[in-house]
Amino acid sequence: MKKPLFISQGVLQIIVGVSAAVSGLMLMAYPSGSLIQAPLEMLEGSPFTNFLVPGLILFFVNGIGQLVAASFTLRRKPAAALTGAVFGLGLMIWIFIQVNMIGGGHILQYSYFFVGVVETALAFLIAASGPETAKSVAASNVG
């Protein structure tokens, strides 16, 4: 049954999307990082002088992107598997780049990387379980 796969992936996407959008907005509003207690020294060795560009990327890609993916997933659109895989992999790439630019070791980095792995795995399970049709969605919602 595909319904639990869609629900699980959609919930993860909402959690990531909301947290990334809020964090991205905070970084854009206060590029010094002061609102989230992130010192600018964290960016030493990176191409950024403040958190504005990382905030923009976080807001639009991991925030809005994940929320759009969640809307596809929870409505069981044909693009749900593809967007889940793209944004799951994108989340893992985001964390990988973050760790390589500013360092790692924070529990949130491990947690979000793991969420990216799970989201990607769910996307592949959704894709492997076959195409979803309007008729099968209607039938699964009745019982």
Rounded CA separation 23/34 (Å) = 12
Q: What is the pLDDT of residues 14-24, one digit of tens each?
A: 999 999 999 99
Question: Per-residue pLDDT tens for 46-80?
Answer: 999 999 999 999 999 999 999 999 999 999 999 99
Confirm if 13 and 119 have CB atoms less than 8 A apart: yes
Q: Closest Cα partner for 70 from 94, 51, 86, 49?
A: 86
**pTM of the entire structure?**
0.87
